[in-house]
Amino acid sequence: MTEARTIWKDVVAIRKSEGGTIVFETTLAEKPNLHFLSIRAGLSWPAQNPGYFLLLGQRTTKNIRGYNLLQFLSEGEYANPRDLFDRLADECAKFHAEDVYVDLSENWRAFEKIFDNLMQDRDMGGLRLVDAPFREARFEVTLSLITRYVSDRALVIDGDTILADQLSRIPRGPLGDSPDLKWHAINALGLVLGGYEASGTSRMTAEEVRQLERRFYPQWYGGYRGPLD
């Protein structure tokens, strides 16, 4: 049982403080309140798989390597876009999340319009779709970034989830065509994690990002190493 599942059975209320942090009130005597700096969502549009979203919260707690812990909070998977967006909106309202990181390229414009219309109908204009900073990067680069967070114990993921299942099954080595569509939960995690990276909440340097590119662009640098090597 991971920390995420342990937290849920003890949470009695979620509220936004005057200082802007999101507070989880719990029944735990040793940890009555859990504080999050922000909570954001990642969204994979319906394609080869049903649509998928997850919510990731940035804790005020830092680990020994200086990362603010990023904690998995919720996920959902629906084939029908309206069902997907309705549940996403419900979860974002519950967790006080306002930014949804997603691929806003032209290919997905129809889904974006459905989302916008539904949010207008629900009077939720404050829930924003944000073009994910790393959406044009090779999927392997994003996967390597996720792997680093996991290995640095900066990412807390519930073991009994679609996301954890995909992370446990994704193969080493080349991933074939359109891995972002096949591994839709991992893709959504990469999109929202890229949002945290771009906002300066990561300890990765520009040189470290270039090292990832050298590792995963074989046509530029020659050779290939799998994302989990």
Q: Whose CA is closest to 69, among 207, 202, 220?
A: 202
Structural contact between residues 45 and 80, judged by C-beta atoms closer than 8 angstroms: no
Position 228 in a domain: no
Positions of E strands within the chain: 11-16, 22-26, 33-44, 51-62, 68-78, 99-102, 128-131, 155-156
Structural contact between residues 192 and 40, judged by C-beta atoms closer than 8 angstroms: yes
**Tally of domains in the chain:** 1
Q: How confident is the model at residue 144 (pLDDT cuts 50, 70, 90)?
A: confident
Q: How confident is the model at residue 224 (pLDDT cuts 50, 70, 90)?
A: very low
Position 198 in a domain: yes
Residue 49 has pLDDT above 60, yes or no: yes
Boundaries of domain holding 120: 3-221
Position 137 in a domain: yes
Q: Whose CA is closest to 24, among 40, 43, 10?
A: 10
- Better-predicted residue by pLDDT, 135 or 52: 52
Mean pLDDT of the chain: 80
Close Cβ partners of 92 (under 8 Å, ≥ 6 residues apart): 41, 55, 98, 100, 127
The CATH number of the domain where 139 resides is what? 3.30.420.280
User: Side chain identity at 48, as an amino acid letter?
Assistant: Q
For 17-48, b where at least 16 C-beta lie within 10 A, e where not — what string? Answer: eeeebbbbebeeeeeeebebebbbbbbbbbbe
Position 229 in a domain: no
Give residue-wise pLDDT tens across range 185-218: 999 999 999 888 777 654 444 455 455 555 544 4
Q: How far apart are CA 17 and CA 144, in angstroms?
A: 35
pLDDT at 145: 80
How is residue 26 written in tokens?
């719990």
Highest mean pLDDT among 55-59, 107-111, 142-146, 210-214: 55-59
Position 25 in a domain: yes
Residue 180 has pLDDT above 60, yes or no: yes
Q: Phi, psi (5° rounding) for residue 183?
A: -105, 65
Question: What average pLDDT score do residues 153-173 get?
Answer: 85
